[in-house]
Chains A and B, each alone.
Chain A
Amino acid sequence: MTLAEPSAAGPLIVGAGERGVLARGLGRSYGDAAQNAGGRIFDMPSLPPSIRLDGDLGEAVVGAGVSLDAVMRACVRHGWFVPVTPGTRHVTIGGAIAADIHGKNHHVDGSFAQHVRAFGLTLADGSHRTVTSDSPVFWATAGGMGLTGVITEAVVQMVPVQTSKMLVTTERAADLDAILSRMEETDASTRYSVAWVDLVAQGRQMGRSVLTLGDHAPLDALSVADGRQPLQFNPREVGGVPAVVPTGLLNSWSIRAFNEMWFRKAPRRRVDEVQSIAAFFHPLDGLRAWNRLYGPRGFLQYQFVLPFGEETRLRRIVERLSAGGAPSFLAILKRFGPASPGYLSFPQPGWTLALDIPANVSGLAGLLDELDRTVLDGGGRIYLAKDSRVAADSLPRMYPRLAEWQAIQQHLDPTARFQSDLSRRLHLTK
């Protein structure tokens, strides 16, 4: 349902029936986090967009339904960039807080909510309040998957940039050991860092990767042509995937071929290449509806984090995936820094691996359950914003502060007005 203005949410929340209500952003969570079967949905992006930037302090007051894409288009030209961006610009501010998202700079800058000073929250009783980062309600809402209230707007501290370009170093790593040690070495000196891992390669090539390291380009790094409009930001799509795609286009053969090409196309080492923000952070945004490549059965996303020191388990998972016939062409490895105070925030210090798998791979449920056990035994967890199949009883072990969160959530919403398919499937709320 669409809202005329954020303040209209109150009466609609109070009037929600037994199936409850949930705010939804741009629907980029891979699982069921933004679905509410049989209940109401607030379509937050339908609200009039509002972005107010203080050009001196870099403080942006942004409506919850506004996308990071819109924020970047409004702010980059004034020399301010979002503090954290995921692999797509098409997420909303509200969603970024509700999932407490992370980006390539997590090891340095933390998660999104750590850059939010305050937000407006409409509560289960219809009242509205401003919540600041010194409040437990703030950290129950950051990572709280929309189950504490409807975020209406947020005050975000942007980061200054001289240009809209990135300086990027790209290098290949021959195997898993090589990429792990290289990421460990480069982390401290690099702001943005991520590796693409070939999860199809086996044997001596297992875990071969392409590492990209980057930072915002200073003005003097730009060519004369780019230097004329150093803060220009106007990314476009190069095309889209048609609505009908044959089943099985992405299979173990085509993915193997793609991965081989992708690895070989990367330079052994290339230093300080100038790239656009879009090319560095959001390559898939250039291809509209890329998810259709997976055909009608679609795909699953699986993302976990394992603490530092659990490299043996990480290796076991990579081995299992590369040997187990669960082909993936998008596997992303990254190092997390310290956790945020969010009760259900995903990042914790360690290695995080995110991958796409076609949903029609046979035996996938058993394989992922096996990986879950390895993650659990290593003290890790899986990411709720991407999950669509974890077992509910694993959750208290993955998220040791779940009970604390549930106490706050229960206090804020005693009659279960906020519900989602995720909360039903995982029994998140009591």
Chain B
Amino acid sequence: MKDALGDVQSVLVLGGGSDIALATLQQLVSRGRLRTVILAGRNPDTMAGARDQLVAKGVTVDVVAFDADATDTHQAVIDDVAARHGDLDLVILAFARLGDQKEFQAHPAQAAAVAHTNFVGAVCVGLIVANRLGLQGHGTLVVLSSVAGERARADNFVYGATKAGLDAFAQGLGDSLVGSGARVLVVRPGFVRTKMTTGLAEAPLTTGPEAVAKATLRGLASGAHTVWSPPALRYVFIGMRHAPRGIWRKLAR
């Protein structure tokens, strides 16, 4: 159960290898209320590091197999987690693939696969989690969106489009839960230094996973429906959203 200052005791991470999710869990651990973490993902190896770090801090960690692409298995995974661990105070939807825009253009089927993971998979498990939180009457689903979804860029518009879809989905899901006690928190980071972005050129206002985690925790405590990381991006994109296309094309290069 979440307390009055936004601290949670049980967390399910969908995409358990996520650097941002791990940073969030580390900050939650240091606040002294976190008891149970369920790391769900396709590859147990990518979650072993996070598991060991959390176990060393005294947290009970359960690693479960979860394939975002296999939508027909999602219900069983969530049901099993809820049956074994009880109420989920926080669910972090953290899985996504970035892909390579040039590859996508050469092999469109790869783009479709990424769209399936980032959007279709997220829609399916997002709805299942929302149903579960609605039954509990409490709990927050954190959806890791991206400013890449705010406005498409020529060099990563497939990824950006999946995040635009995810962001719209998450907003609507959040509104549909009003009155149930459950909530959705949309987190919109800018460029974050993580495993996923290794080797890419950094954008202005680049941060680390810790900054996104901090923004997420702030949103949990205040009950916000959206947080940006860094917060300044919110105001940057108020302008960017309305910039004429020609100017945006130049800015976003």
A interface residues, Cβ below 8 angstroms from B: 19, 31-32, 36-39, 297, 300, 359-360, 364-366, 369, 388-389, 391-392, 421, 424-425
Asked whether A369 and B138 contact (CB < 8 A) given A359-B5, A389-B7, the answer is: no
Asked if residues A39 and B4 are in contact (CB atoms below 8 Å), the reply is: no
Q: Give min CB distance, B243 to chain A, whole Å.
A: 32
Asked if residues A38 and B137 are in contact (CB atoms below 8 Å), the reply is: yes
Asked if residues B181 and A38 are in contact (CB atoms below 8 Å), the reply is: yes
Give complex CA distance A165, B147 in Å.
Answer: 65
Asked if residues A359 and B4 are in contact (CB atoms below 8 Å), the reply is: yes
Asked if residues B4 and A38 are in contact (CB atoms below 8 Å), the reply is: no
Task: Chain B residues near A31: list those with CB within 8 A.
Answer: 4
Give complex CA distance A39, B181 in Å.
Answer: 11
Asked if residues A38 and B32 are in contact (CB atoms below 8 Å), the reply is: no
> Does B216 reach chain A (CB closer than 8 Å)?
no
Give complex CA distance A369, B7 in Å.
Answer: 12
Give complex CA distance A421, B89 in Å.
Answer: 12
Asked whether A37 and B7 contact (CB < 8 A) given A391-B32, A424-B1, the answer is: no
How many residues from B make CB contacts under 8 Å with A?
A: 17
Asked whether A37 and B5 contact (CB < 8 A) given A297-B222, A369-B32, A391-B32, the answer is: no
Asked if residues B32 and A425 are in contact (CB atoms below 8 Å), the reply is: no
Task: Chain B residues near A38: list those with CB within 8 A.
Answer: 135-138, 181
Task: Chain A residues near B32: list those with CB within 8 A.
Answer: 369, 391
> Does B18 reach chain A (CB closer than 8 Å)?
no
Asked if residues A391 and B137 are in contact (CB atoms below 8 Å), the reply is: no
Asked if residues B136 and A388 are in contact (CB atoms below 8 Å), the reply is: no
Asked whether A388 and B4 contact (CB < 8 A) given A365-B31, A369-B32, A424-B87, the answer is: yes
Partner of A389, one of B5, B87, B138, B222: B5
Task: Chain B residues near A297: list those with CB within 8 A.
Answer: 222
Task: Chain B residues near A32: list those with CB within 8 A.
Answer: 1, 4
Chain A minimum-CB-distance residue to B6: A365
Partner of B5, one of A39, A365, A421: A365
Give complex CA distance A300, B137 in Å.
Answer: 22
Give complex CA distance A366, B6 in Å.
Answer: 13
> Does B146 reach chain A (CB closer than 8 Å)?
no
Given contacts A37-B138, A364-B5, 10 further A-B contacts (CB under 8 A): A32-B4, A37-B136, A300-B4, A300-B5, A365-B5, A366-B31, A388-B3, A389-B4, A392-B33, A421-B138
Task: Chain A residues near B87: list those with CB within 8 A.
Answer: 424
Asked if residues A37 and B137 are in contact (CB atoms below 8 Å), the reply is: yes
Task: Chain B residues near A37: list those with CB within 8 A.
Answer: 1, 136-138, 181
Asked if residues B33 and A391 are in contact (CB atoms below 8 Å), the reply is: yes
> Does B9 reach chain A (CB closer than 8 Å)?
yes
Give complex CA distance A141, B63 in Å.
Answer: 40
Chain A minimum-CB-distance residue to B136: A38
Give complex CA distance A297, B222 in Å.
Answer: 7
Asked if residues A365 and B181 are in contact (CB atoms below 8 Å), the reply is: no
